[in-house]
Structure 1
């Protein structure tokens, strides 16, 4: 089966999804990567097939080229990668991409917000039109994301049990580290906030002081490890580091002395209360973290360097 296994990755153009596609291609998996619009013109890569369901697309000038170019240029993409158009908001749009796959890595997770008033919001995960979560607080972007993930997972477990699907879930903490996307996202912006001095993302970083962090590479390797492990079952937390803003700031101030990194934060405890986030179950099944010995500052520095390499800073 080696070199012939076919899997699908949803949300493949995103931060974690694209890194997972890269690692799967390195292992010679045949990857069907779903994105909202796979249309892409690449005259030097005629072997890469782009699909709209099962129909080949003609070269497009839709403006979405940058969103998928980082996937088409990955090693082994010519022979082992196809892009498929799918959208969680469209009923059955994933059916063709999933058909014939040995497994699915579900990374896509948009949400629909139904605002009742300033204090009450209903969240509907797009994988279930009948499941709602009522939130009786006014919350920020991160809380919306966490709430949506919780509702979506509950709906997925229910569907898996009712339909005999072998499902395993991986629960990473805040994800930092290198990336291949041509743009940044929430966790990337958090990781680089002390370097950029952006007030909004620095405020988020301060709020997250004491929470947990993990390297994107460990997250993706954990997904593949559990997919290949015959005894993997249930839910797995994937986390290695504690976010201490003082430690991160000190590390980055030494690495980037010309940036005048802020190292003092009023009213913050230098030894914050740690929020438990144990990866014991994942390690007990034999998984080894490749980046666990690095500091959280190292993870932030890697993220910063990726931004610099891409001209995003």
Structure 2
């Protein structure tokens, strides 16, 4: 997504996936939809002309990727980021790139302990740990972000990265995507992940990206995360909020993703996001959205 003088540009070419965007307020006047392919060299060169801020949020998300993860996740993440950044470096109009990274690029390493201080923006996930436990999404985000900052520094490109944790809240797409699909599966009795991680409201993620764009002093990396919980805590919350639904009761046996840790969002709060929304509110909001879209029945 790009921000220019006239409004938003969305660089996509699948009308079936983007038709709902035209229903948003002001879309007919200020939204332009243009084709862009992350894996195609030079695909964004013309797209970023006249744009002063680029939001690079695209990354393949597969919970259990089929085939070679190098092909399905790592190559698209790395090559896609570089294609966008190279286009931005060529465009005289682009003043800043805001990259959506992830807390997954920060929290994975050996010997994490509950007594450790909260993880901050100076911490990076250990690629070897990710490979050992087949954590391909965290590996992709970590490698892509490191390469992005190295490239940006080499060409003098102003790059700011936002690191959301697990995003929860209402969504505008016709069907849920990525993390929201996992939550919906929990309400249908699916196995829940053996994972402990931060959770964050979508509204706070949006605000974080806008602050990264608008505040001249914004720089480097920004963690955007509320409470850190295990998914067993999440299913307990869902059982209380959804007594009429069959909530997941069986935990997966996957290893490497259930260690205790804390996330420090102080840098983002100092940038202007003083108060992150509660876990209770984010789940109230996503459940209401599920119900309004007909994805779940009466749940209370």
TM-score normalised per structure 2: 0.69
Greater Cα shift, 251-260 or 85-94: 251-260
1:227 and 2:219 correspond: no
Structure 1: how far apart are the matches of 2:60 and 2:280?
30
Which residue number corresponds to residue 138 of structure 2?
Answer: 146
Relative to structure 1, is the Cα distance of residues 281 and 69 closer, same or farther in structure 2, using a 3 angstrom cutoff? same
1:282 and 2:268 correspond: yes
Relative to structure 1, is the Cα distance of residues 123 and 265 closer, same or farther in structure 2, using a 3 angstrom cutoff? closer
Following superposition, the deviation at residue 247 of structure 1 comes to 4.2
Gap runs ≥5 in structure 2: 84-126
Relative to structure 1, is the Cα distance of residues 192 and 299 closer, same or farther in structure 2, using a 3 angstrom cutoff? farther
Q: Aligned ranges for residues 253-272 of structure 1 at < 5 Å? A: 253-261=239-247
**SS where residue 221 of structure 2 aligns?**
strand
Q: Aligned ranges for residues 1-313 of structure 1 at < 5 Å? A: 8=2, 30-35=7-12, 37=13, 64-110=14-60, 115=68, 123-124=74-75, 125-127=78-80, 128=82, 136-137=131-132, 139=134, 143-199=135-191, 202=192, 204=193, 207-209=194-196, 211-261=197-247, 274-289=260-275, 291-292=276-277, 294=278, 296-313=279-296
**SS where residue 147 of structure 1 aligns?**
helix
Following superposition, the deviation at residue 68 of structure 1 comes to 0.5
Following superposition, the deviation at residue 197 of structure 1 comes to 1.1
CA RMSD of aligned residues (A): 3.4
Relative to structure 1, is the Cα distance of residues 243 and 100 closer, same or farther in structure 2, using a 3 angstrom cutoff? same
Contact 1:176 1:214 in 2 (8 A): yes
Gap runs ≥5 in structure 1: 1-6, 10-23, 38-63
Following superposition, the deviation at residue 264 of structure 1 comes to 8.8
Relative to structure 1, is the Cα distance of residues 122 and 312 closer, same or farther in structure 2, using a 3 angstrom cutoff? closer
Following superposition, the deviation at residue 307 of structure 1 comes to 2.4
Structure 1: how far apart are the matches of 2:33 and 2:189?
37
Following superposition, the deviation at residue 246 of structure 1 comes to 4.8
Following superposition, the deviation at residue 256 of structure 1 comes to 2.0
Structure 2: how far apart are the matches of 1:66 and 1:78?
17
Q: Larger Rg: 1 or 2?
A: 1
Relative to structure 1, is the Cα distance of residues 113 and 156 closer, same or farther in structure 2, using a 3 angstrom cutoff? farther
Which residue number corresponds to residue 40 of structure 1?
Answer: none
Structure 2: how far apart are the matches of 1:265 and 1:311?
27
Following superposition, the deviation at residue 104 of structure 1 comes to 0.3
Structure 2: how far apart are the matches of 1:88 and 1:65?
17
Structure 2: how far apart are the matches of 1:216 and 1:234?
21
CA deviation vs aligned residue, 1:115-159 (integer Å, no higher than 9, x gap) = 499xxx993322349xxx8875462xxx21111111111121122
TM-score normalised per structure 1: 0.67
